Amino acid sequence: MTLQPVLPLWLMTALIGAVVLSMAWRPVRAFRQRGAGRGRGRLHEGLLRSVMVLLLLAAALRPGIPGGNTQTATSDVNVFFLVDTSSSIVAEDYGNQSPRLDGVRQDILAIAGELAGARFSVLTFDSNAVVRMPLTTDTSALDTAVAVLQPQMPAFSKGSSVTSAAKLLAERLRAARDSHPERPRLVFYLGDGEQTSAAAPEGIQVGGGLVNGGAVLGYGTAEGGRMRENSGSRSGGDTGPGYIQDRTSGSGGDALSVIDEGRLQWIAGQLGIPYVHRDAGDAVAPMMQAADPGKLERAPEGVGLDGRFELYWIFALGAFTLCLREAVLLLRHWLRLPAANSVPDRAQTVAVRHSGDART
């Protein structure tokens, strides 16, 4: 049997313990009072109410037994976009010499449209890894976060690693799993695979079962593209500052960024998701089919998403029955109130009449 409590388990344990202690104290108090039938009746009523509360708490624990397959709606999915914002992401070899970042933005919004109702988070990495947007269902916030994505300014660049966000991603995935283990976690890595750090990229240690689907999306061409320098302004791509210069050779000239699909495929293997190259005009459906979020309707073994038969309804039904009994008793009590209230009125009238007779 497994439990999926609606409140933290420690709080549920404390509440259940308090109710059990109350039930144990009632007979002791009744024995001390040594009441007759009325005392026994109060004890009986008190125990029934305690049982009703216990049944409600048991239902709130959401007990269940493994079995069957669950159908996961997109509203039950957490989606993490891991976006490369190093200078190479604006290399102009996406479609008709557009920056790769245009394709990244379009694909993020397209994925969000396909997974309407899901929770989305945006993480970016260059020399540093940053959470640009925590998990939220607010698509307007996602639109804004995507619209303001900009590459790192070269003046602050110290070289970037394609896996510099691995630790941050693992932390976010673990937090999502711990808070809502029933929600699958999709990861979409969007980048060009270019490693500008002198050190070799470290492996992505996300742990088994943290990633349930998604895809590594690659942007760029083997011929490469020039990169406009980010000066910090919000001007368009074909205006503003010039191109980043090649300072690695004595010839100078504009630097070129070339996609490294081998490294992107290696990242896909690390995350356990497929690699898909993206170019301008590519349809969304093949990308989503490769990412295969639909397979999450049958949860992988061992990640806490297997089907389960819910048992909470049994306890909820018992609590409802006792609540219905309480409602009937309360209704009977209300119906007796007018008659009970009329007795003092008649007594008062008789008393006044006798008082008048005595004076006469």
Q: Is the pLDDT of residue 30 over 70?
A: no
Confidence of residue 351 (pLDDT cuts 50, 70, 90): low
Contact 118, 138 (CB under 8 A): no
Q: Which of 215, 227, 218 is nearest to 289 (CA)?
A: 215
Contact 218, 278 (CB under 8 A): yes
Q: Which of 80, 113, 104 is nearest to 282 (CA)?
A: 104
3-state secondary structure of 246: coil
Q: Is the pLDDT of residue 205 over 60?
A: yes
pLDDT tens-digit series, residues 103-159? 999 999 999 999 988 999 999 998 889 999 999 999 999 999 999 999 887 655 566
In degrees, rounded to 5, the angle at the alpha carbon of residue 93 between the alpha carbons of residues 90 and 96 is 110
Same domain flag for 118 and 82: yes
* Residue 281 amino acid letter: G
129: domain CATH number is: 3.40.50.410
Cβ-based burial of 90 (10 A; exposed 0-12, middle 13-18, buried ≥19): buried
pLDDT tens-digit series, residues 39-52? 566 777 777 888 88
Of 261, 284, 303, which residue is a domain's last?
Answer: 303
Q: Can you give the residue range of the structural domain that contains 20?
A: 2-67+309-359
Same domain flag for 147 and 228: yes
Same domain flag for 124 and 102: yes
Confidence of residue 96 (pLDDT cuts 50, 70, 90): confident
Same domain flag for 6 and 97: no
Percent helix, strand, coil in the chain, to 5, is: 45, 15, 35
Contact 273, 206 (CB under 8 A): no
Q: Is the pLDDT of residue 231 over 90?
A: no
Same domain flag for 130 and 275: yes
| Close Cβ partners of 339 (under 8 Å, ≥ 6 residues apart) | none
Tokens of 77: 């999915």
Beta strands 63-66 and 2-3: pairing type? Answer: antiparallel
Same domain flag for 205 and 333: no
- What is the torsion angle, in degrees rounded to the nearest 10, for the CA atoms of residue 153, residue 80, residue 8 and residue 326? 130
Considering its fold, how many domains does the chain have in total? 2
Same domain flag for 248 and 103: yes
Q: Whole-prediction pTM value?
A: 0.61
Confidence of residue 298 (pLDDT cuts 50, 70, 90): very low
DSSP state of 243: B
pLDDT tens-digit series, residues 244-289? 887 766 666 888 899 999 999 999 999 999 999 999 989 988 888 8
φ, ψ of residue 135 in degrees (nearest 5): -60, 130
Q: Which of 358, 107, 87 is nearest to 217 (CA)?
A: 107
Q: Is the pLDDT of residue 299 over 50?
A: no
